[in-house]
């Protein structure tokens, strides 16, 4: 059990509410932490297929990568947070096992880094992906970028 949870059980107060003042955590902070934590689990990509495609196009143009909050929706209260994730799973991996690993990691990260109790992590698996196809698409994108740089 984490020290923050132990403190909350002892005092009955959130570590974000102290004698010297309160700390308010914005939804965007929890969403970013949850998105990063989910992406730490092997075998998933955040967002559905359509949002990944748009993110890939934008990333190819800007040279950046997809945002950490893609596929993440949160509701944050003073002491609790509820998190909804939409993700794509790698073909051949156990979706129940991946989902549980994502859920555990997100809860652990949010509770330890933010101090909010996570009441639920709902996961929607909207598609599957094939790693070989992703690698081929990445190579094609890199070749296109190199050709564009030569032209300029």
Q: Which residues pair with 117 in a beta bridge?
A: 80
pLDDT band at 51 (very low <50, low <70, confident <90, very high): very low
Cβ-defined contacts of 142-150 (< 8 Å, 24+):
144/60, 145/60
Q: How confident is the model at residue 124 (pLDDT cuts 50, 70, 90)?
A: very high
Mean pLDDT of 33-54: 81
Domains (range + CATH), the chain: 25-51+65-150 (3.30.70.1350)
Q: Are 106 and 85 in contact (CB under 8 A)?
A: yes
Per-residue confidence band for 42, with pLDDT thresholds at 50, 70 and 90: very high
More confident residue, 105 or 68: 105
Q: Which of 8, 51, 23 is nearest to 114 (CA)?
A: 23
DSSP letter at 41 equals: S
Q: How does pLDDT run across 58-96, given as a tens digit for each residue?
A: 455 545 545 788 999 999 998 999 999 999 999 999 999
Q: What is the mean pLDDT of residues 114-128?
A: 97
Mean pLDDT of the chain: 83
Which pair of structure tokens corresponds to residue 121?
């992590």
pLDDT-derived band at 13, boundaries 50, 70, 90: low
Cα-to-chain-centroid distance, residue 119: 17
pLDDT higher than 70, residue 46: yes
Q: How would residue 10 be classed by pLDDT, with cut points 50, 70 and 90?
A: very low
Q: Rounded to two decimals, what is the model's pTM? A: 0.72
What's the CA gap between 138 and 115, in Å, rounded? 38
């Amino acid at each position: 059990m984490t020290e923050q949870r132990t403190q909350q059980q002892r005092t009955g107060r959130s570590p974000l509410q102290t004698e010297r003042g309160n700390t308010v955590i914005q939804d965007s902070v929890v969403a970013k932490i949850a998105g990063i934590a989910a992406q730490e689990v092997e075998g998933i990509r955040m967002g559905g297929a359509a949002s990944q495609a748009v993110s890939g196009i934008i990333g190819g143009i800007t040279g950046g990568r997809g945002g950490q909050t893609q596929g993440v929706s949160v509701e944050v209260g003073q002491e609790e947070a509820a998190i909804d994730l939409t993700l794509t799973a790698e073909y051949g991996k156990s979706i129940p096992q991946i989902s549980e690993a994502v859920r555990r990691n997100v809860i652990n990260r949010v509770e330890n880094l933010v101090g909010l109790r996570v009441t639920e992590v709902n996961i929607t698996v909207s598609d599957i992906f094939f790693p070989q196809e992703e690698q081929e698409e990445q190579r094609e994108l890199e070749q296109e970028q190199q050709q564009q740089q030569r032209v300029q």
